[in-house]
């Protein structure tokens, strides 16, 4: 299939849920709160594009790093405003990165403590 054909291919909500691991309920929620603007087939059924899927995956990445929904909404509102907001988007993501790196360090320290206790009880620290 050509790149143009792939770009014009659309997906049902069930297909997107399967591809992304995000439930149909959550996809509808994301649409309701403005994180997604999904097109509709003439029948009224949602038809997701590859770009929509990419956005769902990115939202998932942000959620997995504990970014609050309000911050994700803010980010995508800035995206919708266009290229003049790139600096603000960059700042938002850089600030979030600082928090993610801090949490990673905290988790590494917690894991070290757990591994120490496992070794102390005679267990193996090997995964």
Per the structure block, which two tokens stand in for 104?
């990673």
CATH code of the region 1-64 = 1.10.1660.10
Per the structure block, which two tokens stand in for 70?
């309000």
The segment(s) of the chain belonging to CATH 1.10.1660.10 are 1-64
DSSP code for 40: E
Neighbouring CB atoms inside 10 A of 87's CB total 10
How far is 11 from 21, CA to CA, in rounded Å? 14
The whole model's pTM is what?
A: 0.83
What pLDDT, in 10s, does the model give residues 29-71? Answer: 999 999 999 999 888 889 999 999 999 999 999 999 999 999 9
């Amino acid at each position: 299939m050509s790149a143009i054909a792939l770009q014009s291919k659309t997906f049902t909500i069930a297909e997107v849920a399967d591809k992304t691991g995000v439930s149909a309920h959550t996809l509808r929620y994301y649409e309701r709160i403005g994180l997604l603007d999904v097109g509709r087939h003439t029948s009224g059924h949602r038809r997701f594009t590859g770009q929509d899927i990419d956005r769902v995956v990115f939202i998932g990445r942000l959620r997995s790093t504990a970014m609050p929904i309000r911050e994700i909404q803010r980010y995508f509102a800035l995206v919708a405003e266009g290229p003049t907001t790139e600096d603000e988007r960059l700042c938002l993501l850089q600030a979030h990165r600082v928090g993610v790196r801090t949490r990673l360090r905290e988790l590494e320290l917690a894991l070290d403590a757990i591994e120490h206790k496992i070794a102390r009880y005679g267990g193996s620290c090997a995964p």
